[in-house]
Amino acid sequence: MGKLEALDICMEYLQARTGNRMLAIDRLNLVIENGSFVSLVGPSGCGKTTFLKIVDGLLAPTGGQLLLDGRSITEPGRERAVVFQDSSLFPWFTVVRNVAYGLECQGVKPADARERVQPFIKMVGLEGFENHYPYELSGGMQQRANLARALAVDPELLLMDEPFASLDAQTRELMQEELLGIWRQSQKTVLFITHAISEAVYLSDRVLVMGPRPGRVIEDLHIDIPRPRPLKVKRTPQFLDYEDRVWSLIEAQVKRDMAGGNGAGGQVLG
Partner 1 sequence: MATPAALSPRGGLPAVRLDHGPVWRLWWQRNERLALGAFGLVLLMAMWELVVRLGLVRALFVSSPSGIVRAFAEALDRGTLWTDISISLAEFALGYVAAAILGIVIGIAAGWYRRLNYIASPWLAAWYATPHIALIPLIILWFGIGLQYKVFYVFLVSFFSVVINALAGVQSAEAKYLEVAKSFRASQATVFRTVVLPGSLPFILTGLRLAAGRAWVGVVVSELVGANQGLGFMINLAGTMLDTGRAMMGIVMLGIFGVALGEVLGRVEKRFDVWRPQRA
* Cα 57–Cα 189–Cα 204 angle in degrees, nearest 5: 115
DSSP 261: -
List the interface residues with partner 1, window 13-42 (CB under 8 A): none
Torsion of CA 228, 229, 232, 234, to 10 degrees: 170
Complex with partner 1: residue 81 or 208, whichever CB lies closer: 81
State the greatest distance between any 2 C-alpha atoms of the chain, in Å, as a whole number: 56
Complex with partner 1: residue 84 or 239, whichever CB lies closer: 84
Complex with partner 1: residue 78 or 222, whichever CB lies closer: 78
List the interface residues with partner 1, window 133-152 (CB under 8 A): 133-138, 140-141
Q: How far is the CB of 142 from partner 1 (least distance, A)?
A: 9
Site for partner 1 (CB under 8 A): how many residues?
33
The stretch near partner 1 (CB under 8 A) out of 12-20, 102-110, 206-214, 245-253 is 102-110
List the interface residues with partner 1, window 42-81 (CB under 8 A): 56-58, 76-78, 81
Told to check if 166 binds partner 1 by CB under 8 A, we report no
> Which amino acid appears at position 145 of this protein?
A
For 94-156, what is the HEC assignment? CHHHHHCHHHHHCCCCHHHHHHHHHHHHHHCCCCCCCCCCHHHCCHHHHHHHHHHHHHCCCCC
- Of 51, 126, 73, the closest CA to residue 96 belongs to 126
Give me the residues that bind partner 1 (CB under 8 A), please: 56-58, 76-78, 81-82, 84, 87-88, 90-93, 101-102, 104-106, 125, 132-138, 140-141, 153, 171, 174
